[in-house]
Structure 1
Amino acid sequence: MGSHLAEFEVTRIVGQGGFGVVYEAWDPTLERVVAIKEYLPSSLSTRQGDGNVAPLSEQHRETFELGMRSFINEARLLAQFDHPSLLKVYRFWQERGTTYMVMPFYRGDTLRQALQASPGGADEAWLLRIMDGVTQALAVMHAAHCYHRDIAPDNIILLEGSGRPVVLDFGAARRVITDKTQAITVILKPGYAPVEQYAEMPDMAQGAWTDVYALAAVMHVAVSGRAPPPSVARLLADSYQPLAANEALRQRYSHALLAAIDAGLGVRPESRPQSMAELRDALGLDGGATVIRTQAAPTRMGASTGAGAAGAGTRTTMPPPASVADAGAAAPAKGKGAAIAAAVSMAVLAVAGGWWWMQGRDGDAAGAGSGTTS
């Protein structure tokens, strides 16, 4: 507390993970609270006595610098976008041997926390309001040929007061470092990652349809309380039970919503909606299917505050729906089942244990792990 990073005064640590630290800080120039994210991978680097960050050894330097370049590229990428449901980066710089990015200090709950507070399943109108903002934000990214590839309930924050969803950071540096140093099961969230993220294959390109799958998995958790089976296991022996055929869910949710989730969870890339525009159409978010209005969400009395650009703090109740407009499209991907199965069959055992563990968690409706501070 009281330390300075550039012109910003650090007021507290919001959170610390294996790949970085998020601070709350004061911007004296514009007189506002901001969040600062510091690149600090604990497995590769250390903070020295003078405050500088350095690789643990020369052996770690190449991976440390590769991750830092990815961190910088992510900051540049986020700074290009301007959408109310996309994380905004004000600026970034290099100092003390590492890199920092400055973001708005968001207050609210992650979608993971909001779903935990509603164990009986999300209200359909509330869920569609969130999907409206998230699909628009992802469509903006996709139009620039950028894909998130880490959509999960803990990577969507619902802002205090308005309930507006904001898609959090991509974790690009985390993926690059993990790719170099650890197993594939650490990189991916079982249940949310589509099969094309498990193997680099020419006929299994990642694209807008990759984020479509992950977002459909988020909706699956919201209505059923659990994540779908891991995609790589489904490819070999599909145990997925269509939501549209579930009589209990049909009593609570429209056929259009359940069918859209089922379609988005097509195990092969070409069997899903190929863009956010197609997913929005399936959800009925275009063509006047939802009413355009803005309505603030009431906040529970006595709730604690304190979520930064990468975290959560104040709990909010579920607001009524609001809708805006649509954008973006992407080209379809093609895949060959036999080739995919051969490439990923060895990954089934690696993710099966994680899936069964996820199915039994008390907080299953909340998603797979928290990545808000890394």
Structure 2
Amino acid sequence: MAVARDSLPAGTLLGPYRVVKTIAQGGFSLIYLAYDEDSGEEVVIKEYMPKKIARRDSAGRLIASEPQLAENLHQGRKLFFQEAKALASLKHPSIVRVLDFFLANDTGYLVMPNERGRNLGAYVQARRGGLSTTFILDVFIPVLDALSLLHRRSMVHLDVKPGNIHLRHGNRPMLLDLGAVHPLAKSRARGGQVVTAGYSPIEQYMRDGHIGPWTDVYAVGASIRACMEGRTPPPAPERQKEDTLIPATEELKTRYPFPLLRLVDWSMSMEIGDRPQDAGELLEAVLEQVARNPNPDTVSGTPPSESE
């Protein structure tokens, strides 16, 4: 991949971590593969680097791209570090572990283990959807359990999508991009956040939209539907203007169990009050359906043509 313009060069030392290469970039961060010189272990380092308001000087430090943006950069860096500390307290098998977090180069760094596996978004695209019910449940039950932990801690992820789910050996999922996680403080309880078309509900597009655990629930429903259809659902603003999305209970009724499709439609309700109010409520409903149906891959007695 092309190297980001302001990426740290290979060989840069960040504390005990030696940068190997840039492996990803986003609107607010750069992601590096590195190794711990003390242990020899590979790690992934996320650097706070908001591309619209910051640039790197000749010494490698982050500075505001314009003088009037200096306070924005300072506040964003402070929030990044505060949220990193909160994330470090989360212990769950489906949440990426935070190994370390520190300030350097006038910015913040989040260090995570480099776990081998594949990306669910890439897998869905390669398979063009049609993933089995068993596979979907194996992935999203642990994801919902992880989100339930976040929601109980009064935190929301705000960027759940197949591309942010990492599949380890045995298709064990791990929820990524926890740098997007936000505490539900009053100052962060409104919309205007970064959105991902197709997975972000309408309130996430609006400055006065009410953000909450139900926001992640919509994204989970959209992610499950993408696993089924192999394409991203239509963006929420398009649905608000004219909702042409055929309910999953109609569109996919010959391929997936009706109870699961009904939960997808419930989760993707446009109105906040019409959705499960948090991941725990949706998880409870999913587990209830699993308990009732010992053979989830059966649809009216006919198994799906695809197998994992």
Q: 1:74 aligns with which of 80, 83, 88?
A: 83
Whichever structure has more strand as a proportion of its residues is 2
Q: Secondary structure at the match of 2:170?
A: coil
Q: 2:199 aligns with which of 187, 192, 200?
A: 192
How many Å apart are 1:80 and its aligned residue?
A: 1.1
Aligned to 2:283: 280
CA deviation vs aligned residue, 1:5-64 (integer Å, no higher than 9, x gap): 111122222223443222222213333111111122233222222222222232221121
Conserved in 2, the CA contact under 8 Å of 1:157 and 1:166?
A: yes
1:232 to 1:48, Cα distance in 2 relative to 1, 3 A: closer
User: CA separation in 1, counterparts of 2:197 and 2:276?
Assistant: 21
Aligned to 2:222: 217
User: CA separation in 2, counterparts of 1:173 and 1:144?
Assistant: 11
How many Å apart are 1:257 and its aligned residue?
A: 1.1
1:6 to 1:276, Cα distance in 2 relative to 1, 3 A: same
How many Å apart are 1:120 and its aligned residue?
A: 4.7
1:100-179 correspondence to structure 2 within 5 Å: 100-159=109-168, 161-172=169-180
Aligned to 1:43: 52
How many Å apart are 1:2 and its aligned residue?
A: 2.6
Conserved in 2, the CA contact under 8 Å of 1:150 and 1:171?
A: no
Conserved in 1, the CA contact under 8 Å of 2:19 and 2:33?
A: yes
Aligned to 2:97: 88
How many Å apart are 1:285 and its aligned residue?
A: 5.8
Conserved in 2, the CA contact under 8 Å of 1:24 and 1:34?
A: yes
Aligned to 2:244: 239
With structure 1 as the length reference, what TM-score do the two structures score? 0.68
Conserved in 1, the CA contact under 8 Å of 2:129 and 2:231?
A: no
User: CA separation in 1, counterparts of 2:174 and 2:227?
Assistant: 17
Higher RCO (C-alpha under 8 Å, 6+ residues apart)? 1
Conserved in 2, the CA contact under 8 Å of 1:70 and 1:172?
A: no
CA deviation vs aligned residue, 1:256-276 (integer Å, no higher than 9, x gap): 111110111111011111222
Conserved in 2, the CA contact under 8 Å of 1:111 and 1:158?
A: yes
1:45 to 1:173, Cα distance in 2 relative to 1, 3 A: farther
How many Å apart are 1:106 and its aligned residue?
A: 2.3
The alignment yields a C-alpha RMSD, in angstroms, of: 2.5
Q: Unaligned stretches of 5+ in structure 1?
A: 175-183, 292-317, 321-374
How many pairs are equivalent? 279
Aligned to 1:259: 262
1:217 to 1:105, Cα distance in 2 relative to 1, 3 A: same
Q: Percent identity?
A: 34
User: CA separation in 2, counterparts of 1:283 and 1:157?
Assistant: 21
Q: Secondary structure at the match of 1:142?
A: helix
User: CA separation in 1, counterparts of 2:240 and 2:27?
Assistant: 32
User: CA separation in 2, counterparts of 1:8 and 1:34?
Assistant: 8
Conserved in 1, the CA contact under 8 Å of 2:125 and 2:230?
A: no
1:320-335 correspondence to structure 2 within 5 Å: none
User: CA separation in 2, counterparts of 1:99 and 1:8?
Assistant: 14
Q: Secondary structure at the match of 2:135?
A: helix
Q: 2:15 aligns with which of 2, 6, 24?
A: 6
How many Å apart are 1:156 and its aligned residue?
A: 1.1
Answering whether residue 37 of structure 2 is matched by residue 28 of structure 1, we say yes
Aligned to 2:301: none
How many Å apart are 1:95 and its aligned residue?
A: 1.3
Q: 1:271 aligns with which of 271, 274, 298?
A: 274
Q: Unaligned stretches of 5+ in structure 2?
A: 1-9, 183-191, 295-305
